Amino acid sequence: MKKLTLRVFVAFSLFFLALACQKELSYENGGLSGTAQGTLGDSLGNCANITVKGKYAVDTTLADSNYLIVKVNFTTQGKFHLNSDTVNGMWFQDSGYALTTGTAYIKVPGRGKPLLGISATFTLGLNGNYCSFTIISTGTGGASSGGTGTVAGTDYFPVTTGSLWKYQYIPKLSTIDTFSVRVVPNLVTVDSLSYSQFATTLGDTFYFSKKNGNYYALSTIDFDYTFLFDSVPSSFITYPFLKESANVNDSWETPQYGIVKLITGSTTEYGMSKAIFTIKSKNTVPYTIAGKTYTNVINVQRQIIFLPTGSQTSRILLTGNSYYAKGYGLIDQVLGSGNQTQYVSITQTPTILN
């Protein structure tokens, strides 16, 4: 089986053709007259460097005790701006000068006041570099976190803006270990379905929708967050990947998708592809992962089918199982078997906003 790798759709067309390391101040790159550049995540893109301080009570204006401590690795000197989006009536912002390159810890004050007692996920930006964090507001002053809280709903694949998942690849894909996925406030309508946009810290973009208990992808026919084919058509197709009302052993398939390119070793093939889905279990087998046991879980098997050009015989390229927990979404994917098994597994309880 071909080794799975990341798929990146940042520029993919959807519509036929979203106080350390002290140094002298340098003027070669603009000094204080220029714009500071830096990163918020670690070398793998993980956003574990934001600490939320203070309590957050509904209808209470944020005070000096409500702020972030943000770890920034500045790569150039100059003026910087740290800004978050506005969520649940609150936002965070700060500006200043980076006099040196290297690691710095920035205090970013909060503004506004919580409107509702919910778990709210924010995105903090620095010159196009983004990380997320979560604040839980309550009537008496809530806790804050880096995304470990959750407000679960009834959907098996939530598409609500601000919902957040964190996954890991087992084994790693090259140097990539973990990544996060967040629903951003952007909708795309195709064939009467409104798709929510899912953005990852790896720069990928995915589109999912729900209608009448069915969950749809606007995508290729591959598994989420991985791919097999070396090239695909310049447009996506839409298909259901999960059906709440389907019974165990019920199956359905996508339309043919192609022409796709497949390279296996020294062999290059072109052809059509499709996916076949089968419900393997439904709310009968609890699933424990990342320290939590989920009781309402649907296990959907997906088979990727390839029909080479000029051939009458198709073959199965990959069989995998996706596990969807009610109220939480995709919690695990197990692709392949034996020594070729690849896992895309949740690392903590997802943060789901209603």
Give the three-class secondary structure for 39: strand
Read off the pLDDT band of 37 (50, 70, 90).
confident
CATH code assigned at 223: 2.40.360
Question: 204: which residues sit within 8 A by CB, 6+ positions away?
Answer: 6, 7, 8, 9, 10, 225
Residues 340 and 233 both lie in one domain: yes
Instruction: Enter the tokens of residue 90.
Output: 């609150």
Residues 136 and 215 both lie in one domain: no
Tell me, yes or no, whether 351 lies in a domain.
no
Residues 189 and 117 both lie in one domain: no
What pLDDT shows up at residue 354?
65
Average pLDDT, integer, range 107-114 = 91
What pLDDT shows up at residue 14?
40
Higher pLDDT, 34 or 102: 102
What pLDDT shows up at residue 59?
87
What pLDDT shows up at residue 152?
54
Higher pLDDT, 54 or 308: 308
Question: 212: which residues sit within 8 A by CB, 6+ positions away?
Answer: none
pLDDT tens profile 212-229: 889 999 999 999 888 889
Tell me, yes or no, whether 283 lies in a domain.
yes
Residues 174 and 88 both lie in one domain: no
Cα torsion 125, 41, 67, 25: sign? negative
Predicted TM-score (pTM) of the model is 0.62
- What's the structural domain count of the chain? 2
Residues 281 and 199 both lie in one domain: yes
Contact call for residues 183 and 354 (beta carbons, < 8 A): no
Residues 127 and 201 both lie in one domain: no
**Residue where a domain terminates, one of 84, 114, 145:** 145
Tell me, yes or no, whether 154 lies in a domain.
no
Among candidates 147, 179, 182, 185, which has minimal Cα distance to 163?
A: 182
What pLDDT shows up at residue 151?
47
**Residue where a domain terminates, one of 112, 145, 178:** 145
Please provide the size of the chain in residues.
354
Question: Read out DSSP for 310-326?
Answer: T-S--EEEEEEEEEEET
Query: If you average pLDDT over every residue of the chain, what do you get?
Result: 83
Contact call for residues 287 and 255 (beta carbons, < 8 A): no
Residues 182 and 214 both lie in one domain: yes
Tell me, yes or no, whether 170 lies in a domain.
yes
Instruction: Enter the tokens of residue 125.
Output: 């930006």
Tell me, yes or no, whether 352 lies in a domain.
no
CATH code assigned at 127: 2.60.40
Read off the pLDDT band of 9 (50, 70, 90).
very low
What pLDDT shows up at residue 49?
66
Through-space distance between the first and last CA atoms of the chain, rounded to whole angstroms = 40
Question: Read out DSSP for 77-111?
Answer: -EEEEEEE--BTTEEEEEEEEE-SSEEEEEEEEEE
Higher pLDDT, 346 or 98: 346
Instruction: Enter the tokens of residue 315.
Output: 């073959």
Lowest mean pLDDT among 93-107, 128-142, 165-179, 190-204: 128-142
Lowest mean pLDDT among 25-34, 85-94, 108-117, 184-193: 25-34
Average pLDDT, integer, range 182-191 = 87
Read off the pLDDT band of 23 (50, 70, 90).
very low
Q: CB-hemisphere CA count at 13 Å for 296? A: 11
Residues 284 and 176 both lie in one domain: yes
Question: What are the backbone angles phi and psi of residue 119, rounded to the nearest 5°?
Answer: -90, 120
Residues 172 and 141 both lie in one domain: no
What pLDDT shows up at residue 273?
96
Q: Which long-range contacts (CB under 8 A, 24 or more apart) does 22-25 make?
A: 22/100, 22/102, 23/100, 23/101, 23/102, 25/77, 25/99, 25/100
Find the domain containing 82 and state its range: 31-145
Higher pLDDT, 313 or 128: 313
Residues 102 and 170 both lie in one domain: no
Residue with tokens 């759709």: 9
What pLDDT shows up at residue 16?
36
Contact call for residues 270 and 260 (beta carbons, < 8 A): yes
Query: For residue 235, what is the DSSP state?
Result: S
Higher pLDDT, 10 or 32: 32
Higher pLDDT, 6 or 306: 306
Residues 306 and 220 both lie in one domain: yes
What pLDDT shows up at residue 41?
63
Residues 188 and 243 both lie in one domain: yes
**Residue where a domain terminates, one of 145, 176, 193:** 145
Lowest mean pLDDT among 113-122, 203-212, 315-324: 113-122
Tell me, yes or no, whether 155 lies in a domain.
no
Tell me, yes or no, whether 150 lies in a domain.
no
Tell me, yes or no, whether 23 lies in a domain.
no
Average pLDDT, integer, range 324-349 = 92
Read off the pLDDT band of 143 (50, 70, 90).
very low
Lowest mean pLDDT among 12-21, 94-103, 123-132, 138-147: 12-21
With 90 as the cut, is the pLDDT of residue 274 above it? Answer: yes
